[in-house]
Structure 1
Amino acid sequence: MTETRAGTEAVKASGGMAVGASGSGALSSEQGRTMIADTVVSKIAGIATREVTGVHNLGGGTARAVGMLRERIPGSRTNMSQGVGVEVGETQAAIDLAIVVEYGVSIADLAQGIRRNVIDAVERMTGLEVTEVNVAVNDIHLEEEDDDDTGEAEVVAERRVQ
């Protein structure tokens, strides 16, 4: 039997498959290895973050601006990994998130909910142990910002027409 990072005993106990700390099937076995790209973990983390109520958007100012431009192109899709940085090793992953929160939401509770959801999703789908999820709050979204932007554009257009 070959020894993996999880050790010989873990391989024997699981019938030839290394078992990670979270109890999920690991990525190395006697039959081969499974490699998971950074982009896969990044997309999973981005989707899991967007699922949490109170998250308005992901990314810093520049990333959001580029994302908004890209979404206006016909046939383009939302970049699920916008605002997500990951470091993926053989058995572990670390995740950095940049978010915009809705006004009125408890940031501490939101960050804890994001961590819980991201860790659950990444560990369940990849078998990687998530060592940390860092959350950077870059902005706060006010509901009236959407209304003000539209109204201001209409006022400017009216002035130019008169």
Structure 2
Amino acid sequence: MSDHKDYWTTAGDQGTIKISEDVVASIAAIAASETEGVSGLYSSFTDDIATFLGKKNLAKGVKVQLHPDDTVEIDICFLAQFGYNICSIAKKVQEAVHSSIEAMTGLNATCINIHVGGVTFALPEEQSVVPVSTPEEGE
């Protein structure tokens, strides 16, 4: 059975341009993961099963729906870092994804849904260990 993949298509003077939904998802994933306060992206249990069964998911945690009117809807699932305001992070992710999608593809992201799946805590920094000097031979 073939895997159905949507493409945004536009025709120009020199030919046709097709952009895969995977490309849009990758752009959104990078923009979201580079936002301060985002610990990482996560996928739902059903996405993990699809990956296990062999379906590639390069932009884990991002779902894209392309529409014929040059618009796109995006769902992003991420983990927030402890100490950041979650609503503020979510708004920054929406802005970053919207501007990245528009700048790189020309598509209008009409809806960017945010799903915060948890909060991650930073591991305590390792204490620096000062090496103990040993007496050199011959002293």
Same fold, TM-score > 0.5, yes or no: yes
RMSD: 2.9
Matched, 1:88 2:66: yes
Tell me the equivalent position of 2:54.
Answer: none
Tell me the equivalent position of 1:115.
Answer: 94
Tell me the equivalent position of 2:37.
Answer: 54
Identity across the alignment (%): 28
- Out of 8, 27, 33, the residue aligned to residue 10 of structure 2 is 27
User: How far off its partner does 1:86 sit?
Assistant: 0.5
Matched, 1:101 2:84: no
Q: Is the 8 A contact 2:44 2:61 kept in 1?
A: no
Q: Distance in 1 between matches of 2:121 and 2:45?
A: 19
Q: Distance in 2 between matches of 1:101 and 1:62?
A: 19
C-alpha deviations, 1:35-55, integer Å up to 9, x for none? 210100000000000110100
Q: Secondary structure at the match of 1:97?
A: strand
Q: Distance in 1 between matches of 2:27 and 2:80?
A: 19
Tell me the equivalent position of 1:131.
Answer: 110
Tell me the equivalent position of 1:13.
Answer: none
- Count of aligned pairs: 110
Structure 1 residue runs of 5 or longer lacking an equivalent are 1-25, 67-78, 148-162
User: How far off its partner does 1:146 sit?
Assistant: 9.5
Matched, 1:38 2:17: no
The change in CA–CA distance for 1:58 and 1:89 in structure 2 (over 3 A counts) is same
Structure 2 residue runs of 5 or longer lacking an equivalent are 1-8, 50-56, 127-139
User: How far off its partner does 1:143 sit?
Assistant: 1.6
Q: Distance in 1 between matches of 2:114 and 2:124?
A: 23
Q: Distance in 2 between matches of 1:93 and 1:100?
A: 23
Structure richer in helix, relative to its length: 1
Q: TM-score under structure 2 normalisation?
A: 0.68
C-alpha deviations, 1:90-117, integer Å up to 9, x for none? 4111110000000111111101100110
User: How far off its partner does 1:29 sit?
Assistant: 2.8
